[in-house]
Amino acid sequence: MTTTASTTETEPIGLSTDHTQAVQDGAHSHGVGGTPQGSRAERITSFDPTVITVPTGREEEWRFSPVPRLAPLFAAELGSAGVRTTVVDAPEVTVEIVGRDDERLGRAGVPGDRTAVTAWNAFAEATVVTIPAEAVASEVTSVRIEGLSDEPTATHLLIQAERHSESVVVIDHVGSATLTETVEIVVEDGAHLTVVSVQDWSEGAVHASSHRARIGRDAKLKHVVVTFGGDVVRVTPDAEFTGTGGEVEMVGLYFADADQHQEHRLFVDHAVPSCKSRVTYKGALQGEGAHTVWVGDVLIRTEAEGTDTYELNRNLVLSDGARADSVPNLEIETGLIEGAGHASATGRFDDEQLFYLQARGIPEADARRLVVRGFFAELIQEIGVPSVEERLLTSIEAELAKSMSVIEGR
């Protein structure tokens, strides 16, 4: 078997890679210290906390993370009082609180790192949101997870979109918490589901979240991650196709300020033929110690003929002292695919754009705002949930107001 691994790390600024059409060529590897730990297929996954042990920080999946700050979530015993979950559901949708023994739980993927395995083993009760077969939800279903204290806490949410249903579920994280979370997403045959997870935490929040999605035959998942708040946020969305003709669109938007760590690690597992994946993540950074990490793993297994995949990450660094890591990995085990590619670019704020806009009379602060809004605009339009789009624009304005005060104060 020939495996092609392509790794690029852009660290921290001004580097980019563009393999718009990567191929199975057996010799395609580059980057700075960039060889991943073997194939993504060999990564250990388990529900057993004695199998996935406490990391040291040197492991591939933890090497960018502030491990000491996440350490409270590595404990085998975690509480459940740190957050309160409330759901406002669409009339067609059902919501249940169930015990650990509910047989529907634990069927989308398997934990792949320590916080995911502790989340699975420590949660007391799970919230199950079900969109019944062939139901078309007339409204957005909102899941609000509100931080109440810094007690290390585990939660579990299952979103089950039964066959041929259509719905939108928005998960909102607010307040402050120390939380490890599992979001199981099951998209049954022919269902269309949009899941939006917004990390709008207050200062002090530490959040690890394992999103595990299983996408059935001809099913479609749009998965959106938006991260603005919190001290440390580490989201690891996994998507696995279980039937042909499935499609996943993964969109992410993040904005890191001084001393915030925002990490998004994605894995798309093409295990069956004729599925399509699109990953687009964009982030902006400003302030000393702002750190973002994006890792996008795509595996096209031998059986996954006719796969069509593309992933993109772009970062816009607005000030000195911020760092963006970007690592796209593409493994291709079959040559019989529709297309596979990735691109990554991290750049500073473009002074030529600023000059052009200012030369038309637009003051610097407004010009910066235009450029950053423009950077995110296309991505925001892709979300397709108007209430989320509006909120995002407001959040971006608020972030920009912070950077303007930095500029004007210097």
Partner 1 sequence: MSTLEIRDLHVSVETKEGPKPILRGVDLTINSGETHAIMGPNGSGKSTLAYSIAGHPKYTITSGTVTLDGKDVLAMTVDERARAGMFLAMQYPVEVPGVSVSNFLRTAKTAIDGEAPALRTWVKDVKGAMENLRMDSSFAERSVNEGFSGGEKKRHEILQMELLKPSIAILDETDSGLDVDALRIVSEGVNRAKANTDVGVLLITHYTRILRYIKPDFVHVFVDGRIAEEGGPELADRLENEGYDRFLTGAATA
Give residues in contact with partner 1 (CB under 8 A).
350-353, 355-364, 366-367, 370-371, 373-378
Complex with partner 1: residue 258 or 354, whichever CB lies closer: 354
Which residues are 315's β-sheet partners? 283, 346
CB of 197 to partner 1, least distance (A): 23
Q: Helices 386-409 and 364-383 sit at what angle, rounded to 10 degrees? A: 160
Which residues are 240's β-sheet partners? 214, 269
CA 369 – CA 405 distance, rounded (Å) = 13
CB of 284 to partner 1, least distance (A): 12
Complex with partner 1: residue 59 or 378, whichever CB lies closer: 378
CB of 355 to partner 1, least distance (A): 6
- List the helix and strand counts (H, then E) for the chain: 5, 20
CB of 354 to partner 1, least distance (A): 8
Q: Helices 351-358 and 364-383 sit at what angle, rounded to 10 degrees? A: 110
CB of 356 to partner 1, least distance (A): 4
Strands (E), 271-393: 276-285, 291-300, 308-317, 323-332, 339-348
Complex with partner 1: residue 258 or 406, whichever CB lies closer: 406
CB of 252 to partner 1, least distance (A): 16
Helix (H) or strand (E) holding 142: strand 141-147
CA 9 – CA 16 distance, rounded (Å) = 8
C-alpha Rg value of the chain to the nearest Å: 20
Residue in the structure block whose two tokens are 């991943």:
36
CB of 370 to partner 1, least distance (A): 5
* Strands of the 4-7 sheet, one edge to the other: 4-7, 323-332, 291-300, 261-270, 232-241, 206-215, 178-187, 152-161, 125-131, 94-99
Complex with partner 1: residue 16 or 29, whichever CB lies closer: 16
CB of 313 to partner 1, least distance (A): 15
SS3 content of the chain, % helix, strand, coil (to 5): 20, 40, 40
Complex with partner 1: residue 101 or 351, whichever CB lies closer: 351
CB of 8 to partner 1, least distance (A): 22
Complex with partner 1: residue 14 or 363, whichever CB lies closer: 363
CA 312 – CA 304 distance, rounded (Å) = 21
Complex with partner 1: residue 364 or 390, whichever CB lies closer: 364
Q: What is the DSSP string of 246-290?
A: -EEEEEEEEEE-TT-EEEEEEEEEE-SSS-EEEEEEEEEE-STT-
Helix (H) or strand (E) holding 173: strand 166-175
Complex with partner 1: residue 310 or 375, whichever CB lies closer: 375
Complex with partner 1: residue 378 or 390, whichever CB lies closer: 378
Complex with partner 1: residue 353 or 395, whichever CB lies closer: 353
91: cis peptide before it, omega within 30°?
A: no
CB of 381 to partner 1, least distance (A): 9
